[in-house]
Every structure is written in C-alpha cells, then in structure tokens.
Amino acid sequence: MLLVMDLVMPPVLLSEWVFFFIFCMLVNSQLPENLKCKVVRNLIQAGHEVHVVTGAPDYVYTIETQSPRLFIRKVLLDCGAVQADALTVDPLASLEKYNQTAVLPRDSILATEVEWLKSVKADLVISDVVPVACRAAADAGIRAVCCTNFSWDFIYADYVMSAGYHNRSIIWQIAEDYSHCEFVIRLPGYCPMPAFRDVIDVPLVVRRLHKTREKVREELGILDSQKVLIYNFGGQPAGWKLKKEYLPEGWICLVCGASEDQEIPSNFIKLPKDFYTPDAIAASDVLLGKIGYGTTSEALAYKVPLIFVRRDYFNEEPFLRNMIEHYQAGVEMIRRDLLNGCWAPYIERAITLKPCYDGGVNGGEVASRILQDTATGKHHSSHGLSGARRLRDAIVLGYQLQRITGKDIAIPEWYSLAQNELRSRTQLANKEVLDIGSLTRQSDYFTILHGDHQGLPDTLGFLKSLAEMESSGRPQNNNKLQTRDHLAASAMFNWEEEIFVSRAPGRLDVMGGIADYSGSLVLQMPTRESCHVAIQRNHPSKHKLWKHAQARQPKEGPTAVLQIVSLGSELGNRGPTFDMDLSDFVEDGRPITYEKAYNYFARDPAQKWAAYVAGTILVLMTELGIRFEDSISILVSSGVPEGKGVSSSAAIEVASMTAVAAAHGLNIDPRHLALLCQKVENHIVGAPCGVMDQMASACGEANKLLAMVCQPAEVLGLVDIPPTIRFWGIDSGIRHSVGGSDYKSVRVGAFMGKKIIKSSASVELCSSLSNISTQQINKSNPDDADEDGKNLLETEASLDYLCNLSAHRYEASYATRLPESLSGQEFVEKYLDHDDSVTTIDKERNYAVRAPTRHPIYENFRVKAFKVLLSATPSNYQLSALGELMYQCHLSYSACGLASNGTDRLVNLVQEMQHSKSSESEGGTLFGAKITGGGSGGTVCVIGRNCLRSNQQLVEIQQRYKTATGFSPYVFEGSSPGAAKFGHLQIRLLKSRQT
C-alpha cells in the first residue's frame, strides 16, 4: 500500500503497475521539460516504476527525483527541431535529422522497442508526442497516451513547404503513428492536433518555487529599491554582447546560462549554472527571453511580464504568444533591438503591464492522476471524428492552418475569439453581406481629395477601419482592448495630415501558370480579394515615432524613418510592425545592392515580410534614382489569402509601390510598375517568380482576362469573359509558395532544357553550314530547303524564350535529345550555366528536365487555343473544349512534379461532377479544372456555365472535400479592377472628427 503524496486527491490503494514513460529530446528540443520531470516525480511518489527512454542527460531527471523506481534508458527515437541559433529553427535540417533518426531506421526501431516493451512488461506508454512510441505501443498491445501542447505533424507541415513535396510522407507517417494513441493530455496554449482521437485538457504545468522572492533577492544582494530583469535564452546565445547602457537607470539584470568566460557589466549578475530558474523568474520584475512552454507557463503563473523575441519557424509560438498577450503579460521585442541593445523602451513598457492569469497551475498533478486512472483500466470513448483525420489528407499541409475560417480543428476558445475579432477589424469575410449604404456613410469620416472608391465594399471597409484606428488613438478611447497592429497604426499616422490609399487585387491563374517565365501567353483574372495600402509622408521632425524607434534617433537631430504595420499579422508567425532608418538603404551615397537588401531582411525572418513593402522603395531608388528624404508610414491590409496561389505577394508589392508613387508624385505607367515590382520579389524577397502576377494585379480589369505574352510583359489586351462562362478558384488548403524548392527545381529544369535545345541546334547548325560549304566547293548550289533549314536552326540556336519553340519542332527535333533528368553537376560540367538570373543550380541535386521543358511549349499552344475558343459561339462544345485544355494543363503540371493530393482531389471532384448523370442530363454545368500558379498546392481554377446550378455543385464539392479531409475550402469568386484602373485615393480626416 502506497500513499500518493504529491497529487491533488485523497490517498488511494493501488495495485503494482509498471509505467513506461517514453520520450526523447536534444539540447534544442522544444518540449516542456518541467512537465516531463514533474509527471515522472509524481508517478514515482505514487509508488510506480517509471522507465524513461530519452536522449537527454540523466541529470535532467535525477536532479528532481532520486529513486530506485526510476530507470533511464538512453535511446534517441526522434530529434525535435534543429536550431541554427538561439532564435532560428532550421526547417531543412530538422526534416533531414528526423529522416535520419526516425524514418530510415524505422523498421529496426519498431522491432527493438516492441521487444523491449514486452521484456519490461510495461502497462502504459506515455509519450511527449514521439510518433514511433505510439506505434510501438500498439504493436506491443499496450495502451498509449500523449501529453503535449503541440504535435510534430503540425510543426513539420510548414517545414515541408521549404523542403519539397517528397518529404510529405514524413507528415503522413507521423499522423498515422499518432492515430494509435488513445488520447492526448493537452496543455494550455496548444496548437491544432488533428491526428489525435480524444483530448483531455489540463491546467498549466508549473515548477514549484524552492525559495521566496525575498530570499532570492537577499542571496543575490539585490536591494528592495532595485528593479530586476531576468535574461533567459536557454544558454544558447553565449557570445552576445551585454553592455551597461542596455538597462534603464536603477535596473539589475540576472543572466541565465552565461558561459564562464563571458564578461558582463557591473549592473548584470551571472547566475550559477545550477541556480533554480523558477526562483529567479519569480524574484524578477520583467523576463526577457524567447517563448517556450516552460517560460510561458512560469511567466503567467508568477505574473512576471515577458519581453519576447520571436523564433523563426518555431511554429507553436503564435499560440503561446497569443495566450501570453491575452493575459496581458507580453511585449514583443524586435530582434535587431535585442542585438543592438535598445532594451529600455521595451522594459519600460513591460513594467507597466498587469499580468492577469488566474487559472490553475497544477497541470502536472492533474496529468499524473489521469495517467494513473488510465493504468487502472479507465477508458475514454472516441468522439467519432478520428477516421477521416487519420487519413493523409486529414493533415492540412501548411502553417495556414491557424488562419482558415470555418475549420473544425479544435483550437482554444480565446484564440478563436481573438481571431474572429481581428478578422472583423481587417478584411471582409468571403461571403459577408455588406450594407453598402452604411459603409459609404463611414467613408464620410474622410474628405476624398482625389480618386473614387468606386463603391468597392473592401475599400469602404478599409476606410472604416482607418476611422476606427483614429478614434481608438484618442485619450478617451485608449482603454479599449486593441490588437497590437491597430495600436501601432493608430500611433503611427498624423491624422490631421493627408493620407494616400491604394488598392491592388490578387489574381486567378486561368491559363498560363508556370509557363510565364518561359515566355508563354497567359490569361489572368483579377480576384475580388485585394490588398490596401495607406501611406503618409512627413518631415522627420514632425513624424510620429514608436518608442523604440525614438530611442534610435541620433542626438544631432531626427532622420528619415520608414515604419510599416501589417494588419492581421497576429494570425501568423510574423511581427506586426517593422521600422528602419531609410539611411540603411544607402551606402557611400548610393543605394545598397539588392543582395545586401536581401540579407538585410533575411536576418530576421519574423520581419522578412517587410521586404515586399520596403523593397519597393529601394527598387525606386535604384532603378529610377528617386531620393526619399521624408519619413514614411505605411499600413498594409491584405484580404488576399496567403499561400493559396492567388498572388498575395504581388498584390502587396503592387499596392505598396502604387501608394509610394502616389505619395511622392511619381507617374509610373502600369506595365513599368509591374516590372519594378517583379524586381522586388526576384531580388529582394528572393522568390523566382515570373511577371504575370504583378502584371495582372497592376493592369487587370474586373471580369476580364488579361492576355499577356511574358517576353517580358507584352500586353495583348483584355479578353471579355462570355456571359455564359464563369471562373472560380477553390483553395485546397495546402500551402503554396513560389519560393519553395519544387517550383524552383522545375524552373531550373526548364532553363536547363532550353540550354540543351540551343546547344543541340548550334551543333546541328554547324554541321549544316559545313555541308553547305562542301556543296559550294563542289560547285553545287544549296537548294532553298537547305537555306530555310539553316535559318530555322539559327533561330533555335539563339532561342530567347522556350515558348518560341513550336510544339511540332520540339517533338520532331529535340524531345528525344532531352534527358528525363540530369544532375546539377553533370549539367554544369557540360553546359556551364542555365542562363537564369534568379535561380542557381545545386550541383548535388538531380533535376527533372524533359517534363519541365515540354510543359511551357505545349502550355503556350493550349493558352492560344483557349483564347480563341473564348470568342467562339457559346455552346457545350465550346465549354467542353475549354475544360479539356484545363485538364491537360493540370496533368502537365503533375508530370513536372508540381501536383498535390489536395489539388488532385479537387480536380477529380470536378470531373466526377461533370460526368455525373444529373449534370449530363442537364447539359452540363462544370467543365474543367486545373492547378494554378506555382503548383504544389494552392488553388484550383474551375470553369463552368454561369448559372445557379454551377454554384450548387461547387458547394457540393466543398462538402465532399471537407468530408474527406476535414478542411472546408475557400472559394474565390468574382473579380475587381486592377491597381491602375482603381488609381489611388487622397484623403484627409474631416475637421469635425479632429476635434
């Protein structure tokens, strides 16, 4: 009989059970260490044997628990996330490490673990979401439980977009392993965990204090009058410089994890390595560090405000961050200010916070009791949704998971409420019915000095949000709960001065897609969804600066500053604000190079988004010689969903450059502006896109297709969409990115193919010229056919765009000469370079060549045929032919390796709907579909008859897709004017509003 000493429950009698607690971690693991140690201790104190399987040092557990019932087995079963430094997770290295650790040796790991589980006669497997542990338990016939605030399928899903689609099997396998887990004990601040069956929520897990606040301060020699900052980055940032002036007057800083040889100033105290961190946190006034579960739980439990610096690709962070800020306990610090020592503005802000978390902190005890109940036979019934969620498509690839409205994946109530509140403040919902009259009245808050809002609902909504920001900035209203982006925007503008507003839509790729960089004809339709940018310029002496920006101003006088706010960034893993001195764009009196600008933004990925906006200023400086001497404030509000393949980035670039040009009196024609925006994306952002996205956003018109030959951007005109035809976009939920390796590798393969074709034509031309010379020596004249052939070969030997090669010439002369694939090393050795300025060849990589080369040649032909068919007599034959061209395009994408399960599923659903008996009897409604843009996920374009029945069928496809995958797809419908057609607004707040 054993007395359970540390559990919040009465003493109980327990039979002898053997618990198997399995997990693994590395030094840079992201898992909550305090939870593991606490559960282990509680179970041992309850009289159970605990076997810990880990890659961590023994002292992690023995320092808290010394017991003969604790057994530690050193085995590494997964690797967590690999960090490049204290603030950056390396996605590619993480996936590669996991592949080497858990995927390749999977069979032997399973066999070993199953045999060991049976040998120790374990009764329960408890895992902190090690996937293979759940499968091993199932194979051994043992129940398994996970205890966590996140799961690796969700964390790795975003990494896959960087590593390529071939790594998706990792996500599927992890999800399948988790499906063997009976339930998950879920901690506060959790991420979506769609692969698990049942959930039991527990309170925060917090380590108990060993000493009082007063005792700690006394031992460290800290006076009662002194304010204390604790600096805790997990010991990783050894070597970061610490200077006395980093702290406000009268503050002391406790440094955790400092190396023995690190020199620190007199107002910093280096804590011993064995100092109990929770005691130090509770004795401090402010905590400066990075967000992790342990830091978050202790900051909330001990009501210590946390100044945090974002970690790149640390994908559980937005959920923990929002929990911290919900309880008024967090302040975000820009990484640049952390490294440069601009700490004071953040410390002064943090000390004014009143953390208000009043929930439970006994999660360790509650979890231990649940585990004991489980071991004694208590069962938990399934909620019935696990079947579909354990399918491959149940895992919605991409970090956009948290940004999707209408999803049925469980997320915290407070997070959902915050998300809904934020959406209501930024962009209009997809199907929201608008009171246009009401919105028009809201625009009366401003005098429109130039331009016309054209009655566009999203523009009227944006003007309304500007008015709300101005109102929230007034003293009588500043006590209202505001999101950080709205607070920053309201404090950034001088509301009595003029503001310029621009608008640029996304685009639906109807035909053309990735053939744009090969010079194809493309057909693009501007979407109803758009991006708005508000901009204001002021003399540096009159410009309103955020506190941390003020702290950086030189003593000799104010300098020009750029400040940017991105509305809606709270829903993603990026900072809502960005600021820089405009002098950072100048070196030796000249604009910095694009390469230096790329590195400038890349050094802090949480703020890399600003490159799309700020990059427009550098491009104007570099290409047009514009000088920017005034400070600039920019507000970006985009309703074009990210990662859907509808050119959210182009909409931001075009809207930003249009606004900058308007505010500075620059007259740039739309085509030139689009080409300048492409430079932003290619050279400053680093995405190798063609120009069709920017051209469609800048030059498109509502309910028309922009026809353009991408050589580089020759607009042929606008193509009317027949009233009998309609186009829609359906989002697959799988994140798309032209910056992803799949798109890049296909582009590289196409340029390799062009180089091989040109080389082959040159060789044949030389041979032909040699034959002609021989004929002349023999005094026989070459016939006209030989001359024509020579001219043809000369053209192909100097081929500038791949799409200028006809399909029949490709098949007749070059198709068989192209290899299916070729290594980068082989290509470089033979051809030196692939002549593409925005991609580089990885010599270690193998590239597909034939399919990426063939695609744009045939796509160019398909687009030409599509354009002609649009003007044909309306009929089912016309629609069937147009749909067939789209299906062929989709298959060609797949041949290039740019398919995805989600987009294939949607295209198949359209095909099934098209060929259903009901559709055939009604003469058909939907006729074709294709993947769009850069492929590898994103949106599917659908063509159909413009009628009510088509919309009904789209709704049915939505429902079928949701049933199969758990994801309800967003439907893009409707169109709107491009940026040039909209122009810009010049507005000023009404005087009645200023008083």
Q: What is the pLDDT of residues 785-802, one digit of tens each?
A: 567 678 899 999 999 999
Q: pLDDT confidence of 173, banded at 50, 70, 90?
A: confident
Active site residue: 337, 693, 742, 836, which one? 693
Tens-digit pLDDT profile for residues 320-351? 887 888 888 988 888 888 888 899 999 999 99
pLDDT tens by residue, 686-707: 888 878 899 999 999 999 999 9
Same domain, 220 and 189: no
The mean per-residue pLDDT over the stretch 738-751 comes to: 81
Return the closest-CA partner of residue 570 out of 326, 352, 398, 327: 326
Distances 108 to 102, 142, 592 between C-alpha atoms, Å: 10, 19, 54
| C-alpha pair distances (Å), 523 with each of 514, 715, 862, 886, 933 | 12, 10, 11, 12, 11
pLDDT, position 347: 94
Query: What proportion of the chain, given as a percentage, has pLDDT over 90?
Result: 47
**38 domain-assigned:** yes
Looking at the structure, tell me whether residues 231 and 192 fall in a common domain.
no
Instruction: Confirm whether 693 is a catalytic residue.
Output: yes
Distance of CA 927 to the CA centre of its chain: 33
User: How far apart (Å, rounded) are the C-alpha atoms in residues 216 and 259?
Assistant: 22
* Per-residue pLDDT, 974: 93
Of 370 and 91, more confident: 370
CATH code, 324:
3.40.50.2000
Q: What is the pLDDT of residue 781?
A: 60
Q: Same structural domain for residues 180 and 229?
A: no
Q: Between these two residues, 849 and 496, which has the higher pLDDT value?
A: 849
Asked if pLDDT for residue 386 goes beyond 80, the answer is no
Average pLDDT over residues 524-544: 94
Residue 815 in any domain: the answer is: yes
- Do residue 179 and residue 227 come from a single domain? no
Looking at residues 276-295, what average pLDDT do you find? 92
Same domain, 190 and 235: no
Would you state the pLDDT for residue 782? 59
Question: Of 857 and 96, which is predicted with more confidence?
Answer: 857
In tens, the pLDDT along 491-507 reads: 899 998 999 999 999 99
Q: Which domain holds residue 194?
A: 22-201
For 29-81, what is each residue's pLDDT tens digit? 344 455 566 677 777 777 778 888 876 666 656 666 677 778 888 777 777 77
Least confident of 124-138, 210-224, 296-310, 854-868: 124-138
Q: Would you mind telling me the total number of residues written for the chain in this entry?
A: 995
Average pLDDT over residues 224-249: 82
What is the C-alpha to C-alpha distance for residues 146 and 134, in angstroms, rounded to an integer? 8
Residue 592 lies inside a defined structural domain of this protein: yes
Q: Are residues 135 and 217 in the same domain?
A: no
Contact 206, 39 (CB under 8 A): no
178 and 238 co-located in one domain: no
Is 901 contained in some domain? yes
Annotate 251-265 with DSSP letters as a single string.
EEEEESS--TT----
CA distances to 116, 148, 202 from 133, in Å: 12, 14, 22
Sequence-distant (≥ 6) Cβ neighbours of residue 84 within 8 angstroms: 90, 93
CA 675 to chain centre: 25
Listing DSSP states for 459-495 in one string gives HHHHHHHHHHHHHHTSGGGTTS---HHHHHHHTTS-T
Q: What is the 3-state secondary structure (H, E, C) of 709-776?
A: ECCCCEEEEEEECCCCEEEEEEECCCCCCCCCHHHHHHHHHHHHHHHHHHHHHHHHHHHHHHHHHHHH
The pLDDT tens digits for 125-167 are 888 888 888 899 999 998 888 888 888 887 887 676 556 556 6
Q: What is the mean pLDDT of the chain?
A: 82
The closest alpha carbon to 86, from 407, 380, 311, belongs to 311
The pLDDT tens digits of the residues spanning 348-382 come to 999 999 999 988 998 888 888 888 888 777 765 44
The pLDDT value recorded for residue 779 is 58
Q: What pLDDT shows up at residue 527?
A: 96
Partner residues linked to 143 by β-bridges: 124
CATH number at residue 599: 3.30.230.10
What is the predicted pLDDT for the residue at 384? Answer: 40
pLDDT above 50 for 426? no
Domain boundary among 297, 324, 359: 359
The more confidently predicted of residues 316 and 722 is 722
For residue 9, what pLDDT is reported? 26
Model confidence at 738, pLDDT cuts 50, 70, 90, reads low
CATH of the domain at 44: 3.40.50
Q: What is the pLDDT of residue 61?
A: 64
**Which of 135, 169, 201 marks a domain boundary?**
201
Residue 835 in this model has a pLDDT that exceeds 60: yes
294 falls within a domain:
yes
State mean pLDDT over 595-611. Answer: 87
pLDDT of 567 > 70? The answer is yes
Cα angle 652, 653, 655 (rounded to 5 degrees) comes to 65
Task: For helices 611-624 and 670-679, give the axis angle rounded to 10 degrees.
Answer: 110
Residue 252 and residue 269 in contact, taking contact as beta carbons nearer than 8 Å: yes
Query: Is 370 inside a domain boundary?
Result: no
Question: CB 8: neighbour CB atoms within 10 A?
Answer: 12
Q: Using a pLDDT cut of 70, give the percent of the chain over it.
A: 82
Q: Is there a single domain that holds both residue 489 and residue 637?
A: yes
Q: Is residue 19 predicted with pLDDT exceeding 50?
A: no
3-state secondary structure 529-545: EEEEEEEEEECCCCCCC
Please tell me the predicted confidence (pLDDT) of residue 416.
34
Asked if residue 731 is part of any domain, the answer here is no
Does residue 79 sit in the same domain as residue 164? yes
Least confident of 675-679, 928-932, 935-939: 935-939
160 and 233 fall within a common domain? no
Higher pLDDT among residues 689 and 402, named by residue: 689
- How many domains, in total, are found in the chain? 4
Q: Where is the domain boundary, 309, 335, 359?
A: 359
Q: Contact at 8 Å (CB) between 994 and 496? A: yes
pLDDT at site 775: 58
Q: Which pLDDT score, from 0 to 100, does residue 434 have?
A: 43
Q: Is the pLDDT of residue 773 over 80?
A: no
Say what the pLDDT of residue 76 is.
Answer: 75
Q: Do 91 and 166 sit in the same domain of this protein?
A: yes
Tell me what pLDDT residue 487 has.
83
CATH number at residue 810: 3.30.70.890
Would 206 be classed as within a structural domain? Answer: no
The confidence score (pLDDT) of residue 2 equals: 22
pLDDT at residue number 530: 96
**How confident is the model over 763-773, as a mean pLDDT?**
77
For residues 106 and 233, membership in a common domain is answered with no
